[in-house]
């Protein structure tokens, strides 16, 4: 049919159809632009923000993890660990008197530095948690793996049902619950910048020689360490040895996740030894991954 043969109503119908098609096309483009594209951009921005937080806190958390793991390796594998005695809290020598690992000043320093390394790790983890509280933290594989290692380490401190021995009630043990870990971490944070306080501030602000002025959250962390024996006497089994081994095993894995180049032969051997010695304990592995 030629164009001059079209009736006016045919031309009108084609015009209406063209207008409808144009309108639908514009509407579809608007929906794609305003909804799908906008959501894609927001998701990308959220991932970028998460990545920035991860990169900013990765190195200090890496160093804190290395420090903590090295100290727990010493506690778990050296038979003559005598710097976790509760009696050291009653003494406060102001300098070393003998050049020996048994010097009271040195032993008290080792106790306080161990406490600081543990609390500082909670501090960096809490700072990371606060930084990503409103971000989508499960979209990138790197961050997902990282958070899984953090979760398992937190479980190593917090879960009371890890001990599956029939006589578990006869074992010595001590826990730091998840919210207590957060509370410990919170008081380690700087007030004016996103960082964890140093060792000097830790001593000046949070430690006190008088019992009635003790910080309750620091005391909780301290009790996890006090009078621990890596080789307990017969009949005085201490499940904290298993917790130390778990911290070493999963702490080394966290270091590997953060920076594979920082994994030394010493750390690899310590993880292998920890995994081997854990076989002697009945561990509820499901509890470590349940939340």
Which pLDDT does position 44 carry in this prediction?
A: 47
For 128-159, what is each residue's pLDDT tens digit? 888 775 454 445 555 678 889 999 999 999 99
- Measure the CA–CA gap between 190 and 195, rounded to whole angstroms: 5
Dihedral sign for Cα 284, 122, 187, 132, please: negative
| 173-184 pLDDT per residue, tens | 999 999 999 999
187: Cα within 13 Å, side-chain hemisphere: 20
CA-nearest of 56, 254, 52, 23 to 147 is 254
pLDDT at 118: 97
The secondary structure of residue 100, as a DSSP letter, is S
* Alpha helices in 159-264, H assignment, sequence order: 178-187, 199-201, 216-225, 240-258
User: 163 forms bridges with which residues in the sheet?
Assistant: 283
Residues 6+ apart with CB under 8 A from 229: 81, 236, 238, 241
**Integer Cα distance of 15 and 6 in angstroms:** 13
Tally Cβ neighbours within 10 Å of residue 101. 11
pLDDT recorded at residue 24 = 65
pTM value > 0.75: yes
Coil, strand or helix at 202: helix
pLDDT score, position 30:
66
Contact (Cβ atoms closer than 8 angstroms) between residue 105 and residue 94: yes
**What pLDDT sits at residue 138?**
47
Terminal Cα distance for the chain, rounded = 72
pLDDT of residue 75: 94
> Long-range pairs for 34-41 at CB < 8 Å and ≥24 separation?
none
Residues of the chain below pLDDT 50: 2-3, 6, 11, 44, 134, 136-138, 210-212, 291
CA separation, residue 34 to residues 29, 46, 127, 271 (Å): 8, 17, 35, 51
Q: In the prediction, which pLDDT does 270 show?
A: 97
pLDDT value of residue 211: 46
Q: Are 252 and 263 in contact (CB under 8 A)?
A: yes
């Amino acid at each position: 049919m030629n164009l001059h043969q079209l009736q006016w109503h045919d031309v009108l119908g084609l015009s209406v159809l063209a207008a409808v098609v144009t309108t639908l096309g514009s509407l579809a483009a608007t929906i794609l632009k305003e909804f799908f594209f906008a959501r894609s951009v927001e998701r990308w921005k959220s991932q970028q923000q998460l990545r920035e937080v991860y990169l900013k806190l990765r190195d200090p958390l890496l160093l804190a993890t290395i420090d903590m793991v090295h100290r727990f390796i010493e506690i778990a594998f050296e038979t003559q660990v005598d710097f976790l005695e509760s009696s050291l809290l009653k003494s406060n020598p102001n300098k070393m008197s003998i050049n020996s690992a048994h010097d009271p000043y040195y032993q008290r320093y080792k106790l306080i530095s161990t406490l600081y390394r543990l609390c500082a790790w909670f501090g960096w983890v809490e700072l990371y948690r606060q930084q990503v509280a409103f971000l989508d933290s499960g979209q990138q594989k790197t961050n997902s793996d990282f958070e899984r290692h953090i979760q398992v380490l937190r479980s190593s401190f917090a879960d009371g049902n890890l001990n599956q021995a029939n006589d578990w009630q006869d074992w010595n043990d001590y826990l730091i619950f998840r919210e207590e870990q957060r509370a410990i971490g919170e008081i380690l944070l700087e007030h004016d910048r996103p960082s964890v306080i140093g060792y000097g501030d830790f001593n000046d602000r949070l430690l006190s020689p008088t019992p009635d002025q003790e910080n309750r959250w620091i005391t909780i962390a301290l009790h996890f360490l006090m009078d621990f024996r890596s080789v307990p006497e017969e009949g005085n089994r201490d499940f904290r040895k298993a917790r130390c081994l778990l911290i070493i095993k999963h702490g080394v894995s966290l270091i590997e996740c953060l920076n594979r180049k920082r994994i030394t032969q010493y750390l690899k051997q310590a993880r292998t030894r920890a995994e081997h010695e854990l076989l002697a304990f009945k561990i509820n592995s499901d509890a470590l991954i349940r939340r």
